[in-house]
Structure 1
Amino acid sequence: MGVVTEDKIDTVPGSSGQSEEDAPPFPSNVDDAKLVRKIDMRVMPMLFGIYLVAFLDRVNISNALTMSMPDDLNLYGNRANVALLIFYIPYIIFEIPSNVIMKKLKPHIWLSGCIIAFGIVMLGQAFVQSYGGLIATRFFLGWAESGIFPGSFYLISFWYKRAEAQKRFTIYWSSVIFAGAFGGLLASGIAKMDGMRGLENWRWIFLLEGVASILVGITALFFCADFPQQASWLTEDEKAAVIAKTRNYEDDEVKVTKSDLASFFRDPKGYLAAIMYFTIVIPIYAFAYFAPTIIKALGYGTIQTQLHSVPPFAAALGLCLVMAYFSDKYAIRYPFILFGDLLIIIGLAIMLSLHGSEHFSAEYLGICFITMGSFSAGAVIICWVLMNMQGHAERSIGSGFVIGVGNSGGIVAVFCFTKDDAPLYKRGYWILMAMALAGTVSTVAYGLVVARERRRQIQAEGKTDKEKILSL
């Protein structure tokens, strides 16, 4: 079986297949290394900050649920799971429309508006008095955040060539992991604020993080980057250099048409990519939401639970960075995704087979393996899929569709670990095992489709490029 390198044959995005030889030349007076550093400093920090606070605000409810929130809001039975679920309904529905709107309004306006709206709703969540109020705020949180994740990946894909992409996608993706780790540390401190100014400690989580989101959103209005053609901080030669090396030649005012939609949905890669991402999202969200709950079931108090939720995310961050380095170095995505799936399977096998205080270390290792495998594979999947999409039309549709379908896995994830299945959570672990196996199959299938497509394009051009297709 062939090993699939990162992408398809380079063609002009959205065109009829113009080859690399037809590309406009890279301006000779532009230092590429210096240009990349300039882009890194201008594009990545703000996007990292935006999604750090967005994901932190999305999953901070997991920390609040280990405090007095369930009693204060009467969250009996599976009400807490339903509150987690309601977030995903608007979040999924509005992802493709959000990318289209962002293209029209410009990223710095749309993304900053989304995060400011998110912060305002989060402030409201700090003062809810009932289950109904929680449901309402979770719904509007999903609506406000729907544009941030796919929109940011969509934007990043236009700034870097393929050999540079994985490191930058991973940097952005790492904001999710930082949120998981930092959320536990922050919650351990906020847990001590119970009763301050008459507010329960869980309310302080939403209040403080809501304010932080609004401040980040205001900052993003001035510092968030737009698409390369719109970047006032680049010279004309630098703009030409970015466009030349990324091969995004089309007019940035291109419209998304019905023909573009039809073309995308005729391609099986889109469906395989969505399945691949769906299967990895389920363990990602399951552990983002329930890692504190699972750890608490091992016998820890509130503060110790929050602190012990940090190391699995720290380990995941380390693995993500290592995989990003080697994935870009060898221009291969495929085996790194499969390695992540393998870690998930091993971790789940540990959690399903070992229980009790005498196996605490092994169980905690299993939690680390699942977290490491899911978050590291997720970063590579996003890069692999988006860099196989071409141009504004395909990427705006594709990123919204793949991430939208994938994020519907959050609906499954929020019901993986329910109170009636505690403390062993075997049903949840078996669901995750099924997803890991399905993810492995879809990864292999997607790789084979991309390899076949690449071979056909090479043959059509009358070339034999062994660097494009490697043999196992």
Structure 2
Amino acid sequence: MFRKAKPAIQIEHRSAEEKALVRRLDMFLLTFGCISQVIKYLDQQNINNAYVSGMKEDLNLYGNELNYFTTYFNIAYCLMLIPSQAIMTYVRPSYWLTGLEITWGVITGLMALAKNAKHVYVLRVFLGLCESSAWPGMMTLLMHWYTPMELAKRMGFYQSCQTLGYMMSGALQAAIIATLEGKGLSGWRWLFVINAIMTVVWGVLGFFMLPDVPNNPNPRAFWFKKVDAELAMERLARHGRAEPKKLSWAGTKRAFSGWTLYFIAALYIATVHAQGGYQYFNLFLKSLTNPDGSKRWTTEEINVIPIAGGGIAVAFVWIWAILSDTLRTRWTLIITQSLIGLIPAITMTLWTSNPSSVPVSAAYAAYFISYLSLGTAPLIFSWLSELIPQDPEARSLIVGTSVAGYYAVSAWSGILIWPASEAPYYRCGWQTALSLWLVVIAMTCVLRFVDVRYLMPKRKLFVAEVLHGDAVQESEIAPEHDDDRDVDSLKGKDVGVAVSRV
């Protein structure tokens, strides 16, 4: 189950044409996704910036309206995730993803015209419906275009753009408001207008930047050559991946009746919630006082210090992803991050239960260490791509279900586990994180065992049939110890070494 791979690092030999294709995919597909992700985060967060910059007073928002803005957005986001994944198999991604991005850009602009909370509620619902397509849709596209030695890095870069958006949002939004305040509109209304323009312009470019899928490339993608489609299909076959197909009722039934969807979704939900403590770093900083009772940190410092943690997160999301592709392993790095995640969970459990027994410097260190373990999502979905390469329908639904499940759990778990009234001495927050990290370790080990014992033989049969075009009997599969060789060896006599290790 946990045997050492041989060799530790594999080099994938690619032709000059293939390297050129990957460079163009990075330049257009990945660039579009990354910048779109930053813009999406800005559009999600601008409601908070606007609220503290005059929106509250202008619209008479003196109750819990801000909480409801988030609630309505999250409900709509959650409801549309799985349908969006299904629709994307019928509608070109260059139409669907970019069309929705342009739509949510227009909706963002309409926020500038809001006269009361009810207007904002309606717009936030439609904003959630449109934005739900972006993250899972792009993750699914990356699975279609990149090989196992390329995928985790690209997913990692894409994932890190959430944090980059967080790091940029405060300064960018403040600059917009400070520059345009009172010039025809209130500063907070200009905030929505500028964000809308950015979103719509970038969305229009997506019609030409997204390549769609290998077996049905985008004819408007000027950078995509005819030979690239043939090469992309060859890459799918070489690495044992089935070509993308429209989601069928049989595929939907197969996905939801199998254990993989629920197990991967549970693993993803557990990891993201295990990481959740870092989000409350600012509340920890705000609670600290000097010996004379004065605040230890100013409001500006409370907002700036966590940005350093964001920088750590970006760097390590990249590091984990690069190591994953280089070493050709997913599960070991998920466990490594979980073990690192246990350090702040244990430290803060002790600190919150008895602050006098643990120095506050340890709490500072724990919060910064918690940013090291935010790179699990790219590894989980890269692993998913390798667990069931023969079923693109299930992969698409699993990604959507995982994210929808996370939002569904988040809708009620935050107020129970991390109530603001208990900050920073959460009664069960860090204990829950500790428990979830242990669950993640156990689930990862179980999934690794099931993969080696049951899933690899099925993948080997599928890859052999793809490459040879003939049915291959299970008795022809080589012994399990050969599973660590490169998939290209299937082009020879030994069909038992088809599957890249995970």
Query: Which TM-score tier does this pair reach, normalised by the shorter chain?
Result: 0.7 to 0.9
**Match for 1:466: what amino acid?**
H
How many equivalent pairs are there? 447
Q: Taking structure 1 as reference, are residues 109 and 455 closer, same or farther at Cα in structure 2, changes over 3 Å only?
A: closer
| Offset at residue 154 of structure 1 (A) | 0.9
Structure 1 residue aligned with 2:453: 452
Q: Taking structure 1 as reference, are residues 343 and 169 closer, same or farther at Cα in structure 2, changes over 3 Å only?
A: same
Gaps of 5+ in 2: 6-12, 289-294, 461-473, 486-500
SS of the equivalent of 2:445 reads: helix
SS of the equivalent of 1:463 reads: coil
Structure 1 residue aligned with 2:227: 237
Q: Taking structure 1 as reference, are residues 119 and 237 closer, same or farther at Cα in structure 2, changes over 3 Å only?
A: closer
**Match for 1:319: what amino acid?**
F
- Normalised to the residue count of structure 2, the TM-score between the two structures is 0.77
**Match for 1:464: what amino acid?**
P
SS of the equivalent of 2:233 reads: helix
Residues 1:395 and 2:395 aligned together:
yes
Residues 1:270 and 2:267 aligned together:
no
SS of the equivalent of 1:171 reads: helix
Residues 1:315 and 2:315 aligned together:
no
Distance 2:70 2:154 in 1: 29
| Offset at residue 270 of structure 1 (A) | 1.5
Distance 1:219 1:140 in 2: 22
Q: Taking structure 1 as reference, are residues 120 and 424 closer, same or farther at Cα in structure 2, changes over 3 Å only?
A: farther
Residues 1:377 and 2:376 aligned together:
yes
Distance 1:68 1:301 in 2: 21
Q: Taking structure 1 as reference, are residues 467 and 74 closer, same or farther at Cα in structure 2, changes over 3 Å only?
A: farther
Is contact 1:158–1:228 with CA below 8 Å preserved after alignment?
A: yes
| Offset at residue 328 of structure 1 (A) | 0.7
- Bigger RCO (CA 8 Å, 6+ sep): 1
**Deviation per residue, 1:274-316 (Å, 9 max, x gap):** 001112233567756x554554444544433332231111101
Distance 1:77 1:339 in 2: 44
**Match for 1:282: what amino acid?**
H
1:249-268 alignment to 2 at 5 Å? 254-268=245-259
**Deviation per residue, 1:131-166 (Å, 9 max, x gap):** 444433332221011111111111111111112111
SS of the equivalent of 1:57 reads: helix
Q: Taking structure 1 as reference, are residues 117 and 431 closer, same or farther at Cα in structure 2, changes over 3 Å only?
A: farther
State the structure with more CA Rg: 2
Structure 2 residue aligned with 1:13: none
Residues 1:351 and 2:348 aligned together:
yes
Of residues 304-313 and 61-70 in structure 1, the stretch that sits farther from structure 2 once superposed is 61-70
Of residues 228-237 and 76-85 in structure 1, the stretch that sits farther from structure 2 once superposed is 76-85
SS of the equivalent of 2:84 reads: helix
Gaps of 5+ in 1: 6-25
Distance 2:344 2:252 in 1: 39
Distance 2:277 2:58 in 1: 24
SS of the equivalent of 1:87 reads: helix
Structure 2 residue aligned with 1:420: 421
Q: Taking structure 1 as reference, are residues 442 and 141 closer, same or farther at Cα in structure 2, changes over 3 Å only?
A: farther
Structure 1 residue aligned with 2:489: none
Q: Taking structure 1 as reference, are residues 29 and 326 closer, same or farther at Cα in structure 2, changes over 3 Å only?
A: closer
**Match for 1:322: what amino acid?**
I
Structure 2 residue aligned with 1:368: 368
Residues 1:212 and 2:212 aligned together:
no
Q: Taking structure 1 as reference, are residues 114 and 366 closer, same or farther at Cα in structure 2, changes over 3 Å only?
A: farther
Is contact 2:388–2:395 with CA below 8 Å preserved after alignment?
A: yes
| Offset at residue 115 of structure 1 (A) | 1.4
**Match for 2:439: what amino acid?**
A
- Normalised to the residue count of structure 1, the TM-score between the two structures is 0.82
Q: CA RMSD in A?
A: 3.5
Distance 1:3 1:138 in 2: 50
Structure 1 residue aligned with 2:477: 462
Task: Find the partner of 1:176 among 154, 162, 173.
Answer: 162
**Match for 2:383: what amino acid?**
W
Structure 1 residue aligned with 2:464: none
Is contact 2:78–2:407 with CA below 8 Å preserved after alignment?
A: yes
| Offset at residue 180 of structure 1 (A) | 1.9
